[in-house]
Amino acid sequence: MIMIPDERSTAQAALVEAARSLLRTHGDGNIHTVAAAVLDEHGRAHVGLNLYHFTGGPCAELVALAAARAAGARAPRLIVAVGDAGRGVLAPCGRDRQVLADHFPDIHVIVPSGEGTQVVHIGDLLPHTYWWQAQQLQRLRFRASHLPAVRDGSKRVTMRLRDPVQVGPALLVFEFDDEVSMPGRITSTVARSVDSITDDEAQEDGFTSAADVLHGLRDYYPELRASDEIVIVRFEVTDS
């Protein structure tokens, strides 16, 4: 496990280097040819190697995600894969894109771009995807620190970027080491660009004013821009 600094550009470079270092140390040019690194909600990096097999061995991204989970990570923020033999940063395969979209709809991915790399949201890598989660009870995830406010009713609004939630029953999930959940219902969803949010809407979600929203949400969505559209999600806790 490797500690990653808070600065976004530094964190991205360090994450790529974590994957490259693993590949240099443990890659074998045969079974293990790709390494991946995942940045979690605590600024930690978790790494994994692919395990090639003709039956469909796991990709490095999936191994790294599993390693992150085993280490207590609950909300991966950023992922990258690096190939051996000078291939550099690799875009995730189709299966990995579907897994990321289904299980981590807020995650960003470092992908090749021209002579360098860029960070993109998983939704941009898999547009018009089939949302497997839609066939299950939808989950509205929160950081563990929000549990008391949701329980006492003082928090009933959250703002989300590209989170495919809709009005209806939901499971409210809090990201402790052992997840805590409670039944709930999403009562409304309203799309707004960040720069059009009103002070009243901001205060509903605990911000002092609309001017604080962009900075506050970047803690969750590092690449968020003022012109990006987010969804204001109102919800309630239900008995069942």
Distance CA(95)–CA(50), nearest Å, equals: 14
On whether residue 131 sits in a domain, the answer given is no
| 3-state DSSP assignment of residue 146 | helix
Q: Which of 82, 113, 111 is nearest to 97 (CA)?
A: 111
Q: Where are the alpha helices (DSSP H) in the chain?
A: 8-26, 60-70, 94-103, 122-125, 147-152, 199-204, 213-217
Judge whether 130 lies within some domain.
Answer: no
Specify whether 111 is located in the same domain as 172: no
**Which of the residues are catalytic?**
61
Residues 199, 224: Cα–Cα separation, whole Å: 19
Q: How many CB atoms lie within 10 A of CB 23?
A: 26
Give the residue from 70, 74, 73, 135 showing the smallest Cα distance to 102. Answer: 135
Return d(Cα 218, Cα 118) in angstroms, integer. 17
- pLDDT in single tens digits along all 240 residues of the chain: 444 444 467 889 999 999 999 999 999 999 999 999 999 988 999 999 999 998 989 999 999 999 998 998 888 999 999 999 999 999 999 999 999 988 888 899 999 998 899 999 998 998 877 666 545 678 899 999 999 999 999 999 999 998 878 888 899 999 988 889 999 999 999 988 999 999 999 999 999 999 999 999 998 898 899 999 999 999 999 986
Domain end marker among 91, 125, 159: 125
Q: Both 116 and 162 in a single domain?
A: no
DSSP string across 147-178: HHHHHHTS--EEEESS----SEEEEEEE-SSS
What is the domain count for the chain? 2
The C-alpha atoms of residue 240 and residue 113 are separated, in whole angstroms, by: 47
Find residue 111's DSSP bridge partners. Answer: 118
Left, alpha or beta for 114 (phi > 0: left; psi -120 to 50: alpha)?
A: left
Same domain, 97 and 10: yes
CATH of the domain at 148: 2.30.130.30
Residue where the block lists tokens 């051996």: 84
pTM, two decimal places: 0.62
The answer to the question of residue 132 being in a domain is no
